[in-house]
Amino acid sequence: MSSKPGTIYSAYHTSQWATKTKVNAIVAMLPVWQDGLKTVAAMWQREWHTTGKLPRWIDTKPLDGGLSQRQWDSVSRQYRGMLVSWMELAENRFRSIVRDSTLDEPVKIELFRINLKHAWYEPGDDGAHWLARRIMKRVRHVMRLPDPAHCRTMSLDGKIAVIEQPHTATRFRYWARISTLEKGHPVRIPLNTDPRMEERLANGMETLANHLQLQVTGNGKLVPHLLTTRPETNPRDDGDVLGLDWGMCSLFATSEGRLHGLKLYAWLKKRDEELVNLTKALQASGIKPSRSKRYRNLNRRIRNYVTNETNRVLNLIADEQVRELVVEDLDFRSPKLGKDMNRLVSRAGRNAVNQKLKALKEREGITITKVNPAYTSQTCPSCGCVDKRNRTKQSVFHCVCCGRTGQADIIASRNILARRSRKDGWRRISKTQVREQLAQEHSQRRHRH
């Protein structure tokens, strides 16, 4: 769904107790809904590529396909939300490509301007727009546009899913009246809600939105989520500014000298052995891992563990007197873990951290500042020497120039904090330029002394 500026939406899992007949009527909507998403996807993308802008809405009145006009409106809004989320990720990838390129500085500045406005397909024959379209072709090769064929969630707004409180019965907290494919015959399903949601509604922290998300699992079960809204929290005025470095051995290291999430790596090593052995056994039996329930459950268990541990640690950090967190781009890979595990944990970790940092900004008012991570693990915070020999071991930092030693992740977090003072956190300059600047400053420092 499209979000309003200054408004935060939260989704809460709810249990539903609909009869089999009602469930079947809702499940029957999914393939038609997916076809509708594919139809509007082509319309949204065509409009975006033609005009260079994403309009607020597109005209779906000429469409039929078994959906009512109200359902088409919901389908259209859902895909627009998917596309907006993709564009936010594409902006980061575009910026990284430009930053690490050998383009001249004026060209980079113009490309950064285009990227900030998401004006990659804006009509224009100038060199910058031509380059922007070429770069977006590369971005889209790595990051595919949202594929509606794989979407099993229907986002139903108040026009087709009305959330009601019971008039007499008290067994269920809410009822959802949902318009189905059969015109004039909506179904009503009972819902019991998350206690956290009820607590936040009761104390006025959040307001119930007239919106329902329905996920249809592979075996035809319904997983509903109710949505709430709340105003975005004002930024904190008081508190410390912390640099965060993340990795495997310690999930997070802070610039004040703390290590968090030290048990994660050992747990992942055990699961990695299970994943490798299970994959080999399935392949030997001629079974695709993706078709194995045990394999899918293990993957889900790993994702959930990484997400829960990430949320636990960041909640712990946020509970302290912190007003700003300085962070780098994410990389959860470890050479000691298998390829499949690295891919799984990297995706799960990156998503969990990004979602949690966004929540801390919106809910807790903590400012999140991102910086260029280049050479933060190899730079000495005392003399400024940049050398890969400074970190020959995963956990130990030893400067080959001035002899400073320390815990490597904590050193990195302090370098991340220091990079906050650079213009735009050096996010718009390449790794090579970062190295050159650091080397120049180190040389000047040595000559002064």
Mean of pLDDT values over 151-161:
94
pLDDT at residue 105 in the model: 87
Higher per-residue confidence, 430 vs 207: 207
Q: Is 297 exposed, middle or buried (0-12, 13-18, 19+ CB in 10 A)?
A: exposed
Quickly list DSSP for 131-148: HHHHHHHHHHHHSPPP-G
Q: Which helix (H) or strand (E) holds 251?
A: none
pLDDT at residue 272 in the model: 87
pLDDT at residue 2 in the model: 54
Delimit the domains of the chain by residue range.
Answer: 7-20+151-231, 32-150, 240-371, 388-448
* Residue 284 binned pLDDT confidence (cut-offs 50, 70, 90): very high
Dihedral sign (CA 241, 246, 249, 251): positive
Query: 24 near 14, Cβ under 8 Å?
Result: no
Q: What is the reported pTM?
A: 0.78
* Residue 430 binned pLDDT confidence (cut-offs 50, 70, 90): confident
Give the rounded percent of residues in the chain with a pLDDT score beyond 70.
94
Residue 3 has pLDDT above 70, yes or no: no
Which long-range CB contacts under 8 A does 265-271 form with residues at least 24 apart? 265/334, 267/305, 268/302, 268/306, 268/337, 268/341, 268/345, 269/336, 269/337, 271/298, 271/301, 271/302, 271/305, 271/341
pLDDT at residue 32 in the model: 96
Residue 68 has pLDDT above 60, yes or no: yes
Mean of pLDDT values over 250-279:
90
Dmax over CA atoms of the chain, in Å, equals: 84
Q: Which residues contact 373 (CB under 8 A, 6 or more apart)?
A: 328, 329, 331, 416
* Residue 323 binned pLDDT confidence (cut-offs 50, 70, 90): very high
Strands 15-16 and 187-192: antiparallel
- 325-345 per-position pLDDT tens digit: 999 866 555 565 677 667 666
* Residue 351 binned pLDDT confidence (cut-offs 50, 70, 90): confident
Mean of pLDDT values over 217-224:
89
Phi, psi of 231 (to 5 degrees): -70, 150
Mean of pLDDT values over 86-98:
91
pLDDT at residue 232 in the model: 85
pLDDT at residue 4 in the model: 65
pLDDT at residue 6 in the model: 75
Residue 108 has pLDDT above 80, yes or no: yes
Residue 124 has pLDDT above 80, yes or no: yes
Higher per-residue confidence, 268 vs 348: 268
Mean of pLDDT values over 119-135:
92
pLDDT at residue 1 in the model: 54
pLDDT at residue 336 in the model: 58
Using alpha carbons, list the distances in angstroms from residue 89 to 86, 93, 115, 118, 354: 5, 7, 11, 11, 11
For 64, which DSSP code?
-
The angle subtended at Cα 96 by Cα 94 and Cα 97, nearest 5°, is: 65
Using alpha carbons, list the distances in angstroms from residue 293 to 89, 220, 343: 31, 15, 19
Mean of pLDDT values over 94-100:
90
CA dihedral 50→53→57→60, nearest 10 degrees, is 10
Beta bridge partners of 216: 222
pLDDT at residue 335 in the model: 60
The angle subtended at Cα 227 by Cα 222 and Cα 230, nearest 5°, is: 165
Lowest mean pLDDT among 130-134, 140-144, 164-168, 367-371: 164-168
CA distance 434 to 370: 15
Closest residue by Cα to residue 136 from 102, 100, 177, 87:
87
When the pLDDT of each residue in the chain is averaged and rounded to a whole number, the result is: 89
User: Helices marked H in 286-407 — which ranges?
Assistant: 293-318, 339-364
pLDDT at residue 362 in the model: 87
Mean of pLDDT values over 250-277:
90
**Quick check: helix, strand or coil at residue 25?**
helix
Q: Which residues contact 199 (CB under 8 A, 6 or more apart)?
A: none
* Residue 363 binned pLDDT confidence (cut-offs 50, 70, 90): confident
The angle subtended at Cα 169 by Cα 167 and Cα 174, nearest 5°, is: 70
pLDDT at residue 447 in the model: 76
pLDDT at residue 28 in the model: 95
- 373-428 per-position pLDDT tens digit: 899 999 999 999 999 999 988 789 999 999 999 999 999 999 999 999 998 889 88
Residue 72 has pLDDT above 90, yes or no: yes
CA distance 199 to 222: 24
